[in-house]
Chain A
Amino acid sequence: MEKLLAALLAGIVTLCLQAPPAEAQQPMISTEAWQAYKTKFLDPGGRIIDDGNGNISHSEGQGYGLLLSVLAGSPADFELIWTFTRTELVLRNDGLAAWKWSPGAKPHVTDVNNATDGDILIAYALGLAGQQWGRRDYTAAGAAIASAILAKTVVEEGGRTLLLPGAMGFSAGDRRDGPVINPSYWVFEAFPVLDQLAPSPAWGKLRSDGIAFVDELRFGPKQLPADWISLKPDPRPASGFPAEYGYNALRIPLYLVRGAVTDRQLLSRFRQSTSGASGAITIVDLSSGATRSNLTDPGYRIVNHILACVVDKTALPADVKQFTPTLYYPSTLHLLGLSFVAEKHPECL
């Protein structure tokens, strides 16, 4: 066991060479920013509140909260958020997390299905925290979730390795136009850590096929991916969802750069196709290419500024460098973006 753990730790160390854990004491999120985030979105009982969504909580939010705790170097907050997550969401027979928790409902979980990106974020954060703070219980819990992700949501289809957005309701067996995927559920930075937790060649394939999907599945005049894509018979925006580059998809470029994808052409294309007036990020109607809305929250705008930084070394504007919490989702993206720039491109700050 000791040996196994040592090997595991060594593996993570190798993988995280760019950010060696020894240096992890240097938090990538400032104390002030994290404090501001917590005050606004972290309930004292350990749940992350999605205040743009009726104050519900979900596995994605818990996963983000855990990841941000690691990035902020706060084991106590991690423990708090994880305890809530473990007792309230990680209850499914298959070991995955129920995705939706409503404060007013009884029982609180109002949909016991999982959301695979939430599971990935939780397992990933557990893997990082287990390694960083020497907590075997975190590593074991992360490994169990990673195995369940493999067993329930990773499938081979047409020679490609896919991530089903949920264990139920998206596969070829569950939908006539299935499988249906959500490219923004590919949290690229997580796969190497998940591979350490639950070793499988599938993680590597998920990464490469995921990058290929993001590159190939382009629709309409703006040539952008849809939030939800049906792969059958031919890839197209999935029915039952708005055919748009929307709130889901807009984080794809952020996940790409955080996942160390450096393809300038790909990144530039995203930047060009999603830039709205005065630096806004656009929600795009795919069939017409028209802009449905311009998102001006710095948490959204940072996505394109990071692309500009990575591609052209352009510095972030002052109001984006500054973190002031607004709503849960953009503020979360904002901190993820800032921590990436702080770690990889301090020259842009």
Chain B
Amino acid sequence: MKPSIIALSAIIAAVGIVGMKKPDYVRNMVQSFSPVGENGSALPLGQPQLQPSLRAAEEKPPIFQEIKRPSQPPLDTVVTAATASEVDESALRYFASQGDAARLQAEISRLKALYPDWTPPKDPLAIPPNEDKQLETMWQLYSQARYAEVRKAIAERQAADPAWQPPADLLERLSVAEARLRLINASDLKQYETVVRIGAQTTSLLTCSEVDVLWRVAEALFRTGKSQRATDAYTYILSNCQNPAERLATIQKAADLLPSKTVEELLTKEKTAPDGKPEFDSIRDELARRFIAEANADGKIIVPPQYVSRVERLAETGGLASDALLLGWYHLPRGDMEAAEKWFRRARDKEDSASASQGLALTLIDRNMPLEAENVLYRWRDASKEAKAVYLAATTNLLAVDPPIPITAEVLKRIATEVIKSRDAATAQQFGWYARALNQPQTAVQWFKTALGWKLDDEPSAYGLAITYLQLNDMKGVSEIQHLWAGRSERIAKLGEEEKEPETVRKRLPHAEETVTTQNGARPAARIDAVSKEPRGYARPETAARPRQRRSAVTVRGCRTTINPQTLSPDAALARGWCLMELNRPVEAAAAFEVGLLGASAKTREDAAYGQSLAYLRSGLASKAAVAAVKAPQNRQRALELQTAILADKAVAAFDAGRPRETLLALDQLKQITPERTDLMALRGYAYLKLKRYGDARRVFEALAAIGNTDGQRGVAIIHEMFHGND
């Protein structure tokens, strides 16, 4: 018995509200679960803990049933006047007069524990009722839980008869009952500190016969940040209390609060039920499901294999789609794509759902089967933000497949519709490359422009646009792009100079570019003509969360697995950062570059700082990009490039946020270091417009219109209309 008592005492001692007398406490503990009776005395303190409980389990009455369903322990002892006179038997008499055998038996056990020398009456139900009618009434009120009225009755009697003292037993029971009521009320009101305080002050409540109180105290301990002590309380119940239903409920309640690892430890207290089955068997299925679900939310959690196989068995035999789904989502982040696919397929076969299709699409993307992925998920694309993100990942990858695969006109059309609806720059860009591969340069131009409209800093699209202009012999178009990207893209700048691209830049290139530019041969395929109009305005590119794992399945396989970059060398982390950038996973890339910043060589550090700035820019975090840029000295060219991108981003962000003054400030700063791009000039025009600086706006728009810029023409038209309207 010792370990548990010590454990629970520790709970209480640690709570430390009241100092208590250990013997009383221990006696209460013992009394609460021991089938006191046969030898007429409470269990001695040193007796091993499990003994009474085991005995009670083997024989009949488990303790708390003592109250509900009394057994008939032998009562063949004789009342001796000497002891009886010292023992307050008024409660006994009351319960006897009521014929309340359960309470009567509990009271006998209690008195025997308190007074080892006392021997109970031979026929308890024949005990003469209390002579004292008032006291009888008090016991009656007590048994009806009308405690306030008991208190009132005592006070009234004392006022009438100052010499009268209420039985100590009544007072003690009353105060314990009140404490119990307060504890339950406080627990219902989530006043957990009060619950812990009352529990600490009323240790006689912390017994197996009050398992509900124990549960409430355990929860209160957990809610007040004492989860170890909460665990101790659940352990105490499982070590000492015998009622099977309550034991089962204890595990369920613990599992609601405590992590699976702790619950696993509690489960070691499992016993074998009379029918030979482990007593917690019936809830292990539910627990296994809960553990897996918990692990799905956190990829670091390792679930003991027996629970995984339990759910597998359930999924195989039970036929619930939800079990198969649990397994799919369990295996997916752990990299077991084959298993994940199997379970997602099974879930889908049972019942198609957004979640199952989304999971299956991810595994298909991973297997380089984006066409199938698109097909699986199309129906569910609008089910959630995540489903949409996975769908767009599938379309991006589908169009990037090398060599391009034939796609039916119907599918291409529906993809294009979705891309435009979602303003998805990544797929738009791939449409551009796809169109080029199919030798449809005009269409490619439209798509690259569309992508740039949604994502101003999308260098690959700009590059794609420029080489397509080159292909179309549109030298004016080429030079406009080169002007816009001056200082920001070496390969755009060098376009037309020579065929070969410098090695250093290649690292940042999108995977599709290499494949598609070499695919100039015309291929019969559907026309891509879904882009009906150019996007307008300055909406920021969407940074919708992409499924992290399977963004691309095409050319780069070096960084798809999730690795903590901290474990890599700076050079390896740097390489991984560029790789992640190619997969358009800038958040992870930024983390990888952070490790690269620790590199020994100045070159590595510079590259890492540069990469991190680009990564932050792509994530829409211009201010972080600015910080990253100064983490290592950059060469002039790159410094300029970064600063330009950062300021441009700031200007757009400020405009979007309705702060045109800040937009102008950023644009002015930008003008100091580089000639103003036409798109930013247009932005300037709109900023003036917002500030009602119509003269300035008109000047800017007219200049733009003069070089054939559509934004400029539109701006001029707007101003014209405004002033016509006013005249």
Contacts and interface: CB of A to CB of B under 8 A. Distances in A.
Interface of A: 44-46, 75-84, 86-88, 91-93, 98, 107-109, 112
B189 A76 contact: no
Nearest 6 pairs of A and B residues by beta carbon: A83-B148, A80-B152, A46-B148, A93-B193, A76-B155, A107-B188
Interface in B148-169: 148-149, 151-156, 159
B191 interface: yes
Q: Which residue, of B186, B188, B192, has the highest number of chain A Cβ atoms within 10 A?
A: B186
B217 to A, nearest CB: 15
B152 A77 contact: yes
Contact of A87 (B152, B156, B182): B182
A80 B185 CA distance: 18
A286 to B, nearest CB: 36
Nearest to B178: A87
B181 interface: yes
Contacts of B149: 44-46, 80
Given A76-B153, A98-B189, A107-B189, 20 more contacts: A45-B149, A76-B152, A76-B156, A77-B152, A79-B151, A80-B148, A80-B151, A83-B147, A83-B178, A86-B178, A87-B178, A88-B185, A91-B186, A91-B194, A92-B189, A92-B191, A93-B192, A109-B185, A112-B190, A112-B191
Contacts of A77: 152
Residues of A contacting B: mostly: helix
A192 to B, nearest CB: 27
Given A76-B156, A83-B148, A83-B151, A93 B178 contact: no
B191 A93 contact: yes
Interface in B478-535: none
Contacts of B603: none
Contacts of B146: 45
A254 B172 CA distance: 42
A80 B149 CA distance: 6
Given A46-B148, A93-B194, A79 B182 contact: no
Nearest to B182: A87
A100 to B, nearest CB: 11
A107 B185 CA distance: 7
Nearest to B190: A112
Given A45-B149, A83-B147, A93-B194, A75 B155 contact: yes
Nearest to A78: B155
Contacts of B151: 79-80, 82-83
A145 to B, nearest CB: 13
A77 B192 CA distance: 30
Contacts of B182: 86-87, 91
Given A86-B178, A92-B194, A76 B148 contact: no
Nearest to B160: A76
Contact of B148 (A45, A75, A91, A112): A45
A76 B178 contact: no
Interface string B190-231: 111110000000000000000000000000000000000000
Contacts of B193: 93
Contacts of B154: 79
A338 B232 CA distance: 57
A84 B146 CA distance: 10
Nearest to A135: B155
Nearest to B188: A107
A282 B35 CA distance: 69
13 contacts: A45-B148, A76-B152, A78-B155, A79-B148, A79-B154, A80-B149, A84-B148, A86-B178, A87-B182, A91-B185, A92-B191, A98-B189, A107-B185
A63 B191 CA distance: 22
Contacts of B194: 91-93
Contacts of A83: 147-148, 151-152, 178
Of the listed residues B151, B152, B190, the one surrounded by the most CB atoms of chain A closer than 10 A to its CB is B152
Interface string B76-92: 00000000000000000
Interface string B313-328: 0000000000000000
Contacts of B191: 91-93, 112
A82 B147 CA distance: 11
B184 to A, nearest CB: 9
Contacts of B156: 76
B224 to A, nearest CB: 9
B200 to A, nearest CB: 14
B185 A46 contact: no
A51 B182 CA distance: 26
A234 B295 CA distance: 55
B152 A46 contact: yes
Contacts of A76: 152-153, 155-156, 159
Contacts of A82: 151
Given A75-B155, A76-B159, A93-B194, A87 B148 contact: yes
Interface in B120-155: 146-149, 151-155
Contacts of B153: 76
Contact of B189 (A78, A84, A112): A112
Contacts of B192: 93
B185 A75 contact: no
Nearest to B154: A79
A109 B155 CA distance: 27
A118 B154 CA distance: 26
B194 to A, nearest CB: 5
Nearest to B152: A80
A77 B153 CA distance: 10
A338 to B, nearest CB: 24
Contacts of B155: 75-76, 78-80
Contacts of A91: 182, 185-186, 189, 191, 194
A109 B186 CA distance: 10
Contacts of B186: 91
A249 B178 CA distance: 36
A68 to B, nearest CB: 15
B506 to A, nearest CB: 57
A261 B189 CA distance: 40
Contacts of B159: 75-76
A24 to B, nearest CB: 14
Nearest to B179: A87
A82 B182 CA distance: 13
A288 B181 CA distance: 50
A98 B155 CA distance: 26
Residue with the greatest number of chain B CB neighbours at <10 A, chosen from A80, A87, A88: A87
